[in-house]
């Protein structure tokens, strides 16, 4: 099997759940090398609210710094991917660490200006979310995603429904059909880099 791409996948606010690990394993079976840093140091949470409360307690800056630190031991030429809370570290690294090959933002996006004045020239990006997810379809995330893909020449994929963490098979929000399509799209994106 030929390894197609090397990806750092940062987990969402509920932690490095079994569903995030399963999602990473699905990408590994397609030939990609996937790293899954644990920004919560082994802790997982049963609800999004509990996970966000933990992130607030630890500090969002600390969580982001853990993500940046985790990437330092990896090659520079990787794809950065993040799910919800984890997209902060992914987007920061994609915009600021030399050598990034691409960015994948799942269930959200931040304004490009959060990390640098402009998106790196030629850096491919995809954003994936449920079209009616209140955590995405709001006055912050969706406009940020639309502006980012417009500036970068990237792609925004919206899936039917309103589940936030739809790609995590360990959570009630899991949508197997949407996740299968997401995995196919990610595989094609990664294979094309």
Domains of the chain are: 6-191 (3.40.50.1820)
Neighbour count for residue 19 (Cβ, 10 Å):
22
| pLDDT of amino acid 1 | 45
Q: Say whether pLDDT at 176 is over 70.
A: yes
Confidence of residue 4 (pLDDT cuts 50, 70, 90): confident
Confidence of residue 118 (pLDDT cuts 50, 70, 90): very high
User: What are the counts of helices (DSSP H) followed by strands (DSSP E) for the chain?
Assistant: 6, 6
Mean pLDDT computed over every residue of the chain: 96
- Cα separation, 174 vs 186, in Å, equals 17
Confidence of residue 77 (pLDDT cuts 50, 70, 90): very high
Q: Say whether pLDDT at 59 is over 80.
A: yes
Share of the chain above pLDDT 70, in %: 98
| pLDDT of amino acid 2 | 52
Our measurement of the distance from residue 90's CA atom to the centroid of its chain's CA atoms, rounded to an integer in Å, reads 6
Query: Residue 188: is it exposed, middle or buried by C-beta count within 10 angstroms (0-12/13-18/19+)?
Result: exposed
Residues contacting 34, CB < 8 A, separation 6+:
7, 9, 24, 25, 27, 28
Say if residues 106 and 131 touch (Cβ distance below 8 Å). Answer: no
Say if residues 87 and 106 touch (Cβ distance below 8 Å). Answer: yes
Confidence of residue 3 (pLDDT cuts 50, 70, 90): low
Mean pLDDT computed over 32-59: 96
pLDDT digits (tens, 9 = 90+) for 6-25: 999 999 999 999 999 999 99
Mean pLDDT computed over 134-153: 97
């Amino acid at each position: 099997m030929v390894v197609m791409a090397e990806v750092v996948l940062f987990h969402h606010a509920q932690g490095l759940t079994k569903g995030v690990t399963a999602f990473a394993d699905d990408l590994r079976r397609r030939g990609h090398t996937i790293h899954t840093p644990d920004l919560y140091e082994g802790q997982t949470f049963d609800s999004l609210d509990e996970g966000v409360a933990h992130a607030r307690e630890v500090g969002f800056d600390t969580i982001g710094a853990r993500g940046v630190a985790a990437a330092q031991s990896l090659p520079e030429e990787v794809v950065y991917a993040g799910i919800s809370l984890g997209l902060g570290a992914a987007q920061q690294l994609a915009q600021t660490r030399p050598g990034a090959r691409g960015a994948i933002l799942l269930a959200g996006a931040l304004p490009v200006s959060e990390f640098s004045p402009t998106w790196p020239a030629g850096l491919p990006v995809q954003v994936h979310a449920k079209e009616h997810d209140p955590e995405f379809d709001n006055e912050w995330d969706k406009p940020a995603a639309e502006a980012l893909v417009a500036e970068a020449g990237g792609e925004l994929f919206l899936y039917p429904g309103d589940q936030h963490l739809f790609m995590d098979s360990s959570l009630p929000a899991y949508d197997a059909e949407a996740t299968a399509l997401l995995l196919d799209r990610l595989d094609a994106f990664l294979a094309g880099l």
